[in-house]
Amino acid sequence: MICKHFGECGSCSLYEMTYSEQLDMKKENLQKLLEPFYNENIKAFTSEKEYFRARAEYKIYHKDNSVFYAMRHLDKKAYVTLEECKMVSQPIQKRMWKLLELFNVCDELKNRLFGVEFLSSSTDDVLITMLYHRKLDESWMQKAKTLENELSAKIIGRSRKQKIVLSEEFVTETLNINGKSYHYLHYEQSFTQPNTKVNEKMIEWAVNQAKSYGKGDFCELYAGSGNFTLPISNLFEKVIATEISKRSIYAALENCKLNNINNITFIRMSSEEFTEALEKVRTFTRLKDIDLDSFDIGTILVDPPRAGLDEQTKSLISKFDTIIYISCNPNTLARDLETLCKTHNVKDAALFDQFPYTHHMEAGVVLTKR
């Protein structure tokens, strides 16, 4: 029934709904899922109706010596070629069709090309990753360098065991949070929120919840490159944040420098390991210079992947006064609330429409200890 192709395959009923109809449907679904834990009206934060996606991945389909952007059809074993894609951001829009024209007049660039990924920012910075089934050589690099200039974009070429970065491998993003600007480096292939405007609303919501219910020091698990951590850090004296991805932790540290923030301790650690460290089940050399006991954690924010929280992490976060839970899968959120609501009450809940015209939902819930 529901489109995974931002509606572009034109084959599903969600695409036929108006934006507000599909949003109402999601809100109703979320309200039902959260009903056992929260009976108040859930606030929905809307997306722009077009040009909202800051990143996109396309297959490249070859036919009669021409290439096309393509996506897998939802139901059939086939690809759908695209002639427009109104879901992607204006900076991507501006470049993607020109790029296709340039591929089509250059055999060197389109030979064995099988995918193109775009990452953009609201500062009109765009990174284009081109994926090939062949080794890339000097001649490819020369053509790709010309492309960089013609498109005002940064280009990365990838093939098996090969990655060529022509200039930089990140885009610079600036987010406006409650009237203040925060600057971020978003690296290729590390996690970034897909819908910039909705992301800003989501961070503002989290900041406001931390303002209302925050206590003690602040801790964040699944912190990525500091998307929430940086704006929330202003409200607390001491902050500790963990994340499993090496690249995201590197970006998070760079982002702290960019924003002159120096009260955050970032640690590269899985939430499972961090739980073991806090509960003194295991010692880690990575923590030799960090005194975990010096943090008096009262507020925790978690933003796990779709699988939600593991049992140990749930048990750990249940110990803190305030929990802000951001979820990209309301089914696992509802499952985790069954445990968390044994000790905490839900104070607020919201829907963030990060993924319009798909069945995906992003939700936020704030809980305080009884």
Q: Closer to ligand SAM at the Cβ: 22 or 248? A: 248
Within 63-102, which residues bind ligand SAM (CB under 6 A)?
none
At residue 37, what are phi and psi to the nearest 5 degrees? -115, -20
Exposed, middle or buried by CB within 10 Å (0-12, 13-18, 19+), for 29? Answer: middle
* 255 sits near ligand SAM (criterion: CB under 6 A): no
Query: Which of 125, 173, 188, 243 is the binder for ligand SAM (CB under 6 A)?
Result: 243
Q: Which stretch binds ligand SAM (CB under 6 A): 14-22, 143-151, 178-186, 240-248?
A: 240-248
Q: CA 6 to CA 1: how far, in whole Å?
A: 13
Determine the 3-state secondary structure of 314 from DSSP.
helix
Q: Residue 36, Cβ neighbours under 10 Å: how many?
A: 12
Query: Which of 22, 122, 227, 368 is the binder for ligand SAM (CB under 6 A)?
Result: 227
* 282 sits near ligand SAM (criterion: CB under 6 A): no
* 270 sits near ligand SAM (criterion: CB under 6 A): yes
* 224 sits near ligand SAM (criterion: CB under 6 A): yes
31 is in an annotated binding site: no
* 244 sits near ligand SAM (criterion: CB under 6 A): yes
Element of type H or E holding 338: helix 330-340
HSE toward the beta carbon, residue 306, CA cutoff 13 A: 2
* 195 sits near ligand SAM (criterion: CB under 6 A): no
Q: How far is CA 233 from the centre of its chain?
A: 19
The answer to whether the beta carbons of residues 344 and 367 sit under 8 Å apart is yes
303 is in an annotated binding site: yes
Q: Which stretch binds ligand SAM (CB under 6 A): 2-10, 83-91, 105-113, 220-228?
A: 220-228
Q: Which stretch binds ligand SAM (CB under 6 A): 59-67, 82-90, 163-171, 264-272?
A: 264-272
At residue 56, what are phi and psi to the nearest 5 degrees? -155, 150
* 245 sits near ligand SAM (criterion: CB under 6 A): yes
Instruction: Give the DSSP letter string of 185-249.
Output: EEETTS---SBHHHHHHHHHHHHHHHHHH--BEEEEES-TTTTTHHHHHTT-S-EEEEES-HHHH
Q: Closer to ligand SAM at the Cβ: 89 or 227? A: 227
* 222 sits near ligand SAM (criterion: CB under 6 A): yes
- Give the CB-nearest residue to ligand SAM: 224
* 193 sits near ligand SAM (criterion: CB under 6 A): yes
CA distances from 313 to 145, 179, 236, 270, 276 (A): 46, 34, 22, 10, 9
Site string for ligand SAM, 320-339 (x = CB under 6 A): --------x-----------
- Tally: H helices and E strands in the chain: 11, 17
85 assigned to active site? no
* 303 sits near ligand SAM (criterion: CB under 6 A): yes
193 is in an annotated binding site: yes
222 is in an annotated binding site: yes
Q: Report the first-to-last Cα separation within the chain, whole angstroms.
A: 41
Contact positions vs ligand SAM (CB under 6 A) = 191, 193, 222-224, 227-228, 243-245, 248, 270-272, 303, 305, 328
Q: Which residues are catalytic?
A: 328
